[in-house]
Chain A
Amino acid sequence: MTEPTRSAPPLSPENEAVIQLTRKDFVSDQEVRWCPGCGDYSILAQTQKIMPDFGYPKEKIVFISGIGCSGRLPYYMNTYGFHSIHGRAPTLATGLKAARPDLMVWVITGDGDALSIGGNHVLHSMRRNVDFTMVMFNNRIYGLTKGQASPTSEFGKRTKSTPLGSIDTPIMPLTVALAAEASFVARSVDTHTEHLQKTLERAGRHTGSSFVEVLQNCNIFNDGAWRDFTDREVRDDRMLVLEHGQPMIFGKDRDRGIRLRGLHPEVVQLGNGVTEDDLLVHDEQALEPYLALILSRMFWPDFPVPVGVLRAVPRPTHDQLIADQIRTAVASGGEGDLERALNSGETWTVD
């Protein structure tokens, strides 16, 4: 089974113009106001870069965000944009997409916005398979409120709000997305620009709920949060780049891999009787997300950190299902007649 893609918008004179669009067309006139050195700049740049590739005219694209540093992104996109309130961007996107299936909708959020105050909406928008792409900037800290622990902060993390260390176990965003039945789940890194572009583009093309965790650096309040495995010198040895249909091999020398022992993954050295045939082969299209769940739990330092698409499966979207029910109702009972609705039930006439 192949992954469904949102059908390209119908060709029109305006679409001719779409083909000519470049990154610059998606840059708004607003001055970008993130801290210098923030990972958000790269995410914004890659997002703007891939926008022309989808074939949507600017006016058909909407970026919706919540609160947090990530929430500012819509201001910088020269599309329609809605900077909403803390955690609630998925709810606005759900209503917008239900009312306007023709639009391409992006939800921009962060680890606090999506997994703390807005956790409920992530859960339910994903299970409904609302056709939007959610990009979650994960910097393991509350940046805009100046450095409190977030739901992805490490256990024991010392922050302004946890001077003796956080006593909350962090949650794994990708596990949450998978548990919520997200039909597309992926991870990338702010500084790995090519991979990030590719991942965002795949997410944008997926029809249904796409969840992309972007490991992002907050150089002010949590600098180097991911450095241990994302830095250029170590990334090949400490990250696992997922490729559909390929064995899970990693390492500068591509000499290590992931093998399953019982229900547990393990890192193995290739050679000495261990071959590629012993390794797990990535299948992002598996209908049941067992493999994706295993991958979502693998993390540095116990494992190389998987990046790429963990899951991409077809499923009817929320707006399609709504439209189907309306079509069915019309097919069985005809178009609604207001006069008949007003006069329904028992009526009587007074002369």
Chain B
Amino acid sequence: MTTTHEDRELEIRELERVTIRFAGDSGDGMQLTGTQFTRTAAVFGNDISTLPDFPAEIRAPAGSLPGVSGFQISFSSADIHTPGDEPDVLVAMNPAALKTNVGDLPAGGALIVNSDAFGAQNLSKAAYATNPLTDGSLKQYSVFEIPISTLNERALDGLDMTSKQKDLTKNFFALGIMFWLYERSMDPTLRWIDDKFKARPVIAEANKRALKAGYAFGETTELFHTHYRVKPAKLAPGRYRNITGNEATALGFLAASKLADRPLFYGSYPITPASDILHQLSGYKQFGVKTFQAEDEIAAIGAAIGASYGGALGLTASSGPGIALKSEALGLAVMVELPLVVVDVQRAGPSTGMPTKTEQADLLQVLFGRNSDSPVAVVAPATPAECFDLAIEAWRIALKFVTPVVYLSDAFLATGAEPWRIPDLSELPGIRVETWTDRATFQPYERDPATLARRWAVPGTPGLEHRVGGLEKADISGNVSYDPDNHHRMQLLRQEKIARIAHDIAELEVMGPERGDLLILGWGSTYGAIRSAVERLQAEGQAVAHAQLRYLNPLPRNTEDVLRSYRRVLIPEVNLGQLLLLVRGRFLIDAIGYDRVRGKPFRIAEIYQEAERILAEDRP
């Protein structure tokens, strides 16, 4: 197909899916550039999936390798589940960005570089002995060298700004080029600029000019001979918005508070990558949400327990290191049996690890990282949008079973985005809260015969004054007890209460044949990569299925049956085999682990190849 752009004949190529990676200095605004492209693609109606990848350093030395920040977006006219294994296009704003990212660009991929940034100083900061733009090392790519800084500065000529300020807008020039290349409207971003910089008209003008200049450059330059079209995806009908996992998590908790008709109290200590939940919830004051930035992780959970004790929805969130600090208090919540939700947005560890990088290695910590047998329910969303549903589900379980629930997200889910079909309020599940008020029959540790939830009486209820605490409780009366048989009974009761949640949650669903050669079992954010790999294997006619656990404790009641329906079970995890250990220990099933802990989500190809390898072993 061709179209006429003024006097140029341009080819338009239609593509199903495109993956772009923006990479530059952490001060270059790459996250913003990626986010703007994402919003534009989402509003256009593409399916999208994103992978922000940034350093923990706020501003590492300019031009240095550790300071490189990247944002990958995949957008498509079909249903997609991952941000793409490898980019089709890499936008590199300087040599360091090129060096750290070009390895992921497949041969033939498009490489757009800001040639102005390839001076001797930047080359040396990136440890390039020779200039890669001239030494032939990039010849396997389609390289587009564009003097972005110079062109951008020229476009901003006459504005009352320093050249440094002008240079800060060059990311929008690059974004303008990409908008042109992929036939995107600039309008959403122009509106965003107007809104963001309404108090600073010169800055707004500069950003708008940069964006438009980049777009115009794409249109008029002789560099590009093609531009690309990715049609809207056929998503289920409904109203959509673009959402990250952390946003969906916060909204889910807000909705849970509304559904339970109980105020939300959020105790939290700042930690990457969970802090955005605090930022968002602190903006919901008009809903009566009370947020509390505590002095430490322990105070954050302590306050949440106190709020729950008072009848509110006591919520706390952190990442692995903070969860370690909270563990004694979480044990207290197990003992006093109060509803509580603890969010763990997992990141790469151990210790401080790689704070901005993803991992799913806290599963055993939240299950077993407390003194004694201390059972809690554990749920794990599989996609950013699903974070909303699981946040509500966590509260439904916590309130129905009067128990702490751990909600396991991770850095990839938290910061990654996808389109979310906004639910109608009527679609949301009801959450029933039962507190005890009857004086005649109240015993603090008497239990509901079906759920084993203890009778929960909140302070202020006349005649039900009683004491709870971390010391072992006598069954029924809740008085302090050192009776040996009582302790044994209480340990079993606490365990059984959590086990009974299995009767109250959805069964494990399988995508693919009900029996077959291979089941790939995952949990959490590995969903997209596994699903895509399985789709590919199924398209090749392989008897392969996919199941993703949303409930890690208790496991869905049909889990063992599902696992036994396949000759082999493969469990890919971004840890060293934690679910694998549980599955093997619990069911004596000889599942196979596949672990990659690189601080990055799985690639589809990795899982595909591993599955292929196992299937090949079994072939006669």
In the complex, per-residue mask of B456-481: 1 if CB is within 8 Å of any chain A CB, else 0: 00011111111111110000000110
Also in contact, A322 and B462, with CB within 8 A (given A95-B267, A343-B422):
no
Give the interface size class of chain A: 35 or more
Judging by beta carbons under 8 Å apart, are B469 and A84 in contact?
Answer: yes
Judging by beta carbons under 8 Å apart, are A95 and B306 in contact?
Answer: yes
Q: Nearest-CB distance from A12 to chain B (Å)? A: 10
On chain B, the residues within 8 Å of A141 by CB distance are none
On chain A, the residues within 8 Å of B286 by CB distance are 326, 329-330, 333-336
Report the stretch among A58-66, A161-169, A260-268 that lies at the interface. A58-66
Report if A123 contacts B (CB, 8 A): yes
Closest to B388 in A: A342
Report if A93 contacts B (CB, 8 A): yes
On chain B, the residues within 8 Å of A92 by CB distance are 302-303, 305-306, 309
Report if B265 contacts A (CB, 8 A): yes
Judging by beta carbons under 8 Å apart, are B292 and A94 in contact?
Answer: yes
Judging by beta carbons under 8 Å apart, are A84 and B45 in contact?
Answer: no
In the bound complex, what is the Cα–Cα distance between A64 and B332 (angstroms)? Answer: 13
On chain B, the residues within 8 Å of A343 by CB distance are 239, 241, 422
Judging by beta carbons under 8 Å apart, are B479 and A30 in contact?
Answer: yes
Judging by beta carbons under 8 Å apart, are B299 and A120 in contact?
Answer: yes
Judging by beta carbons under 8 Å apart, are B425 and A91 in contact?
Answer: no
Judging by beta carbons under 8 Å apart, are B459 and A60 in contact?
Answer: yes
In the complex, per-residue mask of B493-527: 1 if CB is within 8 Å of any chain A CB, else 0: 00000000000000000000000000000000000
On chain B, the residues within 8 Å of A96 by CB distance are 306-307, 309-310, 459
Also in contact, A339 and B239, with CB within 8 A (given A59-B460, A88-B299, A91-B303):
no
Report the stretch among B166-174, B251-259, B602-610 that lies at the interface. B251-259
Judging by beta carbons under 8 Å apart, are B302 and A88 in contact?
Answer: yes
Report if A173 contacts B (CB, 8 A): no
Judging by beta carbons under 8 Å apart, are B45 and A95 in contact?
Answer: no
In the complex, per-residue mask of B275-318: 1 if CB is within 8 Å of any chain A CB, else 0: 00000000011111110101110111111111111111010000
Judging by beta carbons under 8 Å apart, are B238 and A120 in contact?
Answer: no
Of the residues B42, B240, B294, B306, contact of A93 by C-beta under 8 Å = B306
Of the residues B303, B467, B469, contact of A28 by C-beta under 8 Å = B467
Judging by beta carbons under 8 Å apart, are B467 and A59 in contact?
Answer: no
Of the residues B45, B292, B296, B459, contact of A100 by C-beta under 8 Å = B459
Report if B384 contacts A (CB, 8 A): no
Report if A7 contacts B (CB, 8 A): no
Report if A102 contacts B (CB, 8 A): yes
Judging by beta carbons under 8 Å apart, are A82 and B302 in contact?
Answer: no
Judging by beta carbons under 8 Å apart, are A95 and B467 in contact?
Answer: no
On chain B, the residues within 8 Å of A346 by CB distance are 39, 42-43, 188, 241-242
Report if A74 contacts B (CB, 8 A): yes
Of the residues A328, A329, A336, A348, contact of B239 by C-beta under 8 Å = A348
Of the residues A81, A91, A336, contact of B306 by C-beta under 8 Å = A91
In the bound complex, what is the Cα–Cα distance between A99 and B305 (angstroms)? Answer: 11
Closest to A332 in B: B286
Report if A272 contacts B (CB, 8 A): no
Judging by beta carbons under 8 Å apart, are B284 and A336 in contact?
Answer: yes
Report if A350 contacts B (CB, 8 A): yes
On chain B, the residues within 8 Å of A342 by CB distance are 251, 255, 422-423, 425
Report if A98 contacts B (CB, 8 A): yes
In the bound complex, what is the Cα–Cα distance between A85 and B239 (angstroms)? Answer: 47
Also in contact, A341 and B332, with CB within 8 A (given A74-B467, A95-B307):
no
Judging by beta carbons under 8 Å apart, are B239 and A81 in contact?
Answer: no
On chain A, the residues within 8 Å of B421 by CB distance are 350
Within B87-142, the residues touching A (CB, 8 Å) are none
On chain A, the residues within 8 Å of B309 by CB distance are 82, 92, 95-96
Report if B237 contacts A (CB, 8 A): yes
On chain A, the residues within 8 Å of B466 by CB distance are 80-81
In the bound complex, what is the Cα–Cα distance between A30 and B188 (angstroms)? Answer: 67
Also in contact, A94 and B239, with CB within 8 A (given A100-B460, A103-B310):
no
On chain A, the residues within 8 Å of B479 by CB distance are 30
In the bound complex, what is the Cα–Cα distance between A64 and B467 (angstroms)? Answer: 9
Judging by beta carbons under 8 Å apart, are B285 and A329 in contact?
Answer: yes
Closest to B234 in A: A350
Judging by beta carbons under 8 Å apart, are B239 and A349 in contact?
Answer: yes
In the complex, per-residue mask of A305-349: 1 if CB is within 8 Å of any chain B CB, else 0: 000000000000000001001101110011110110111111111
Report if B263 contacts A (CB, 8 A): yes
Report if B529 contacts A (CB, 8 A): no
Judging by beta carbons under 8 Å apart, are B302 and A95 in contact?
Answer: yes
Report if B329 contacts A (CB, 8 A): yes
Closest to B44 in A: A348
Closest to A342 in B: B422
Within A147-182, the residues touching B (CB, 8 Å) are none
Report if B402 contacts A (CB, 8 A): no
In the bound complex, what is the Cα–Cα distance between A77 and B469 (angstroms)? Answer: 14
Report if B235 contacts A (CB, 8 A): yes
Report if B616 contacts A (CB, 8 A): no
Also in contact, A91 and B332, with CB within 8 A (given A57-B462, A100-B311):
no
> Which applies to chain B's interface (DSSP): helix, strand, loop or mixed?
mixed
Judging by beta carbons under 8 Å apart, are B469 and A74 in contact?
Answer: yes
Within B403-435, the residues touching A (CB, 8 Å) are 421-423, 425
Report if A78 contacts B (CB, 8 A): yes
Of the residues A57, A75, A99, A121, contact of B265 by C-beta under 8 Å = A99
Report if A79 contacts B (CB, 8 A): yes
Report if B236 contacts A (CB, 8 A): yes
Report if A302 contacts B (CB, 8 A): no
In the bound complex, what is the Cα–Cα distance between A286 and B287 (angstroms)? Answer: 39
Report if B336 contacts A (CB, 8 A): yes
Closest to A33 in B: B480
Q: Nearest-CB distance from A25 to chain B (Å)? A: 10
Report if B560 contacts A (CB, 8 A): no
Judging by beta carbons under 8 Å apart, are B239 and A91 in contact?
Answer: no
Closest to A81 in B: B467
On chain A, the residues within 8 Å of B312 by CB distance are 99-100
In the complex, per-residue mask of A87-128: 1 if CB is within 8 Å of any chain B CB, else 0: 010111111111110110000000000000000110110000
Q: Nearest-CB distance from A155 to chain B (Å)? A: 28
In the bound complex, what is the Cα–Cα distance between A348 and B420 (angstroms)? Answer: 10
Report if B535 contacts A (CB, 8 A): no
Judging by beta carbons under 8 Å apart, are B304 and A95 in contact?
Answer: yes
Of residues A103, A124, A334, A350, which shows the largest number of chain B Cβ atoms within 10 Å of its Cβ? Answer: A350
In the bound complex, what is the Cα–Cα distance between A74 and B314 (angstroms)? Answer: 22
Judging by beta carbons under 8 Å apart, are B459 and A103 in contact?
Answer: yes
Q: Nearest-CB distance from A34 to chain B (Å)? A: 14
Report if A238 contacts B (CB, 8 A): no
Report if B328 contacts A (CB, 8 A): yes
Of the residues A74, A322, A329, A345, contact of B242 by C-beta under 8 Å = A345
Q: Nearest-CB distance from A45 to chain B (Å)? A: 18
In the bound complex, what is the Cα–Cα distance between A323 and B208 (angstroms)? Answer: 41
In the bound complex, what is the Cα–Cα distance between A103 and B465 (angstroms)? Answer: 13
Judging by beta carbons under 8 Å apart, are B241 and A347 in contact?
Answer: yes
On chain B, the residues within 8 Å of A74 by CB distance are 467, 469
On chain A, the residues within 8 Å of B314 by CB distance are 95, 99
Report if A351 contacts B (CB, 8 A): yes
Of the residues A30, A99, A120, A338, contact of B255 by C-beta under 8 Å = A338
Contacts A59-B463, A342-B423 known; 18 new A-B pairs at CB < 8 A:
A59-B461, A59-B462, A75-B480, A80-B466, A81-B468, A92-B309, A94-B303, A95-B310, A95-B314, A98-B290, A99-B263, A99-B311, A326-B290, A333-B286, A335-B286, A346-B39, A348-B239, A349-B238
Q: List 25 A-B contacts (CB under 8 A).
A: A30-B467, A58-B462, A81-B466, A81-B468, A83-B468, A85-B328, A85-B329, A85-B332, A94-B306, A95-B265, A95-B303, A95-B310, A96-B310, A98-B290, A99-B265, A102-B460, A326-B286, A335-B287, A341-B287, A346-B188, A347-B422, A348-B241, A349-B238, A350-B45, A350-B239
- Ranked nearest first, the 5 interchain pairs of A and B with the lowest CB-CB distance are A91-B302, A83-B469, A95-B306, A95-B303, A336-B287
